[in-house]
Amino acid sequence: MINLTVNGVQHALDIDPATPLLYALRNDLQLHGAKFGCGLGQCGACTVIVDGEAVFSCLMPVSAVGKRPVRTIESLGTAEHPGPLQKSFIDHQAVQCGYCIAGMIMRAQALLERNPRPTERELLAHMEPNLCRCGTHTRILAAIRKVAHLPAAGATSASSQGAVSHGGTQ
C-alpha cells in the first residue's frame, strides 16, 4: 500500500511502488492536469510540485514521494475561479494547444512560492526545462512576469539587466 498526500488529501493506493507518480495521479486519482509527454523528463508536460519543488512526475516512482505533499494544477484553481497564474495565462493567451500548460504553470508556481520576485535570469533558468512545442514561450513568460511583477521582456530595470537569452524562450 502506498500512501500519498495529493492536493491536501491523503490517499492509500494499492499500486506497485515503482509506478511513476504521473500514472498514480492520472489513473488512480483521476487528476488529469499533468500530461504524459515524453516519459523521459525532457519536456515537462508532467510537472507537479512535490514538497515545494517542481518535479517530472513521469520519472518519480510513487515510493520516492514518501510523506512529502504533492500538488497538481487542480490545486491552484478552477475554470470558474482560476488562480493568479492560471488567470494570467488566460489573460496573456499563453495557450495554443494547451498540452504543456499545466506543467508550465506548476513549474512557475514552484518558483514564485519560493521566490515571489525572481530576476529575469532566475525566471528563464527555472522555466528552461519545460518545453512548449507550439512556441508560445513569449506569452508564457509574459504571463509569469505579470504575476511576479517583473518588467516586460526587453524593458530595462535592475531586475532584468544582465538577463540571459535562451533562443526561442524570450
Q: Which residue shows C-alpha cell 530576476?
A: 119
Residues in the chain: 170
Strand (E) or helix (H) holding 105 = helix 101-114
**Three-state secondary-structure class, residue 144:** helix
pLDDT score of 169 more than 80: no
| Confidence label for 155 from pLDDT (cuts 50, 70 and 90) | low
Query: Out of 3.30.70.2190, 3.40.50.10860, 3.40.50.620, 3.10.20.30, which CATH number does the structure's domain 2-157 have?
Result: 3.10.20.30
Q: What pLDDT is stored for residue 153 in this prediction? A: 78
Q: How far apart are CA 143 and CA 168, in angstroms?
A: 16
- In whole angstroms, give the CA distance from residue 111 to residue 147: 11
User: What pLDDT is recorded for position 74?
Assistant: 97
Q: Which amino acid is at 9?
A: V
Examine the pLDDT at 1 and tell me if it is beyond 50.
yes
What pLDDT is stored for residue 152 in this prediction? 85
Cell numbers for 117: 520576485
Reference 25, options 57, 1, 49, 55; nearest CA is: 57
Question: What string of H, E and C letters represents the secondary structure of 10-45?
Answer: EEEECCCCCCEHHHHHHHHCCCCCCCCCCCCCCCCC
CA atoms of 57 and 46, how far apart (whole Å) = 5
pTM of the model as a whole: 0.88
pLDDT tens digits, residue range 17-43?
999 999 999 999 999 999 999 999 999
Alpha-carbon torsion (36, 87, 131, 161), positive or negative = negative
- Condensed to tens digits (0 to 9), the pLDDT of residues 92-110 reads 999 999 899 999 999 999 9
Percent of the chain with pLDDT strictly greater than 90: 86
- Do residues 107 and 44 make contact, with C-beta atoms less than 8 angstroms apart? yes
Residue-level pLDDT at 165: 38
pLDDT tens column, 121-141: 999 999 999 999 998 999 999
